[in-house]
Amino acid sequence: MTVLSDCFVSVVAPLQNDAPIVRAFVAETMAVLRRSYTNYELVIVDDGSVDATVAEVASLLGEFECVRLIRLSREFGEETAITAGLDSVIGDFVVVMLPNHDPPALIPSFVERARSGTEVVFGVRRQRSGESLWVRLGASVWYWYSKNFLKLDLPRNSSQFRALSRQAVNSLVQIRDKYRYLRLLSSDVGYAHSGIEYEPVIRNPDKAQRSFADRLWVSIDIVVANSQHPLRFVVVLGIVGGILNLFYAAYVIAIYFFKGDVAAGWTTLSLQNAGMFFLIFLILTVLSEYIGHILVEARQRPLYYVLEERNSPVWIADQERRNVVLESHAD
């Protein structure tokens, strides 16, 4: 007879246009939870799907216990959808996973590592299969830049698949930044963390992968939201440009006083103008990006809006369990 672990495990799974894989994912996940834990829940967050995803999940609520559906009013993005799930989970340990990539069979391994004292356990992909050469090269440059210049604690090839203790979840949900990146925030809260290597699965190969341009914009958002390095970089460029112009001004004055016949310096003047306009536009570009982020954060709007919530008829698997202390004894 299998001994069930006496802890409450919540699984958060964001969905968007995943109707073809919902049933298989839910069935596989619930099978793992049933044979491993006395109490559990599967929280599915629909991020503005326009296909039959919601209808598929609704049909599964009557077949499986302890499943909840949170339907967002529109598409807010994967990171925000995960946040919506974290805001509502009640488990002692919370597992975040992407239905199209992460294998439910590894849930017990992740939770067991978290129970051993590691507050944040994240998945590490063994290889970046299925990605283009440009994406792999871009990822290598990104991790190098993050480590050496941004000083961000971003584990290489880490994924959204992770297990979080209740303490880590309580800390993460306090962060209400509009530009969110769970892989970075999980390390930023400061709790002990470690990785587990695994091989991702592909449930729906027809689903479009994030493009190189999308990954680039996400990287820019991460840099601007978490580091002042670009600002410091343009400050240095501005100082260097100013010093060069001081030397050029001294050169012009010297020529004026010590050389009578001054030829028109068209080439030099053109190079100087081109260099200065380059610095000006670069500085304006970086400042504009930071100002845009400040504007979004200053609005203080909610991260998301919930359209509806649905639940399975059975909310708690172990009906005899009660988190109530009847007696207490003071030392």
Question: What is the residue-level pLDDT of the chain in tens, covering all 331 positions?
Answer: 456 777 899 999 999 999 999 999 999 999 999 999 999 999 999 999 999 999 999 999 989 999 999 999 999 989 999 999 999 999 999 999 999 999 999 999 999 999 998 999 999 988 766 666 777 787 788 888 888 887 777 778 888 999 999 999 999 999 888 778 888 888 778 888 899 999 988 888 777 667 667 777 777 777 777 777 777 777 777 777 767 766 776 776 676 667 666 566 655 775 676 677 777 777 777 777 777 777 777 777 788 999 999 998 866 666 565 543 344 344 4
Domain ranges of the chain: 8-210+302-311, 229-298
Superfamily of segment(s) 8-210+302-311: Spore Coat Polysaccharide Biosynthesis Protein SpsA; Chain A (3.90.550.10)
The confidence score (pLDDT) of residue 331 equals 40
The three state secondary structure string of the chain is: CCCCEEEEEEEEEEECCCHHHHHHHHHHHHHHHHCCEEEEEEEEEECCCCCCHHHHHHHHHCCCCCEEEEEECCCCCHHHHHHHHHHHCCCCEEEECCCCCCCHHHHHHHHHHHHCCCCEEEEEECCCCCCCHHHHHHHHHHHHHHHHHHCCCCCCCEEEEEEEEHHHHHHHCCCCCCCCCHHHHHHHCCCCEEEEEECCCCCCCCCCCCCHHHHHHHHHHHHHHHCCHHHHHHHHHHHHHHHHHHHHHHHHHHHHHHCCCCCCCHHHHHHHHHHHHHHHHHHHHHHHHHHHHHHHHHCCCCCCCEEEEEECCCCCCCCCCCCCCCCCCCC
The confidence score (pLDDT) of residue 328 equals 36
The confidence score (pLDDT) of residue 274 equals 63
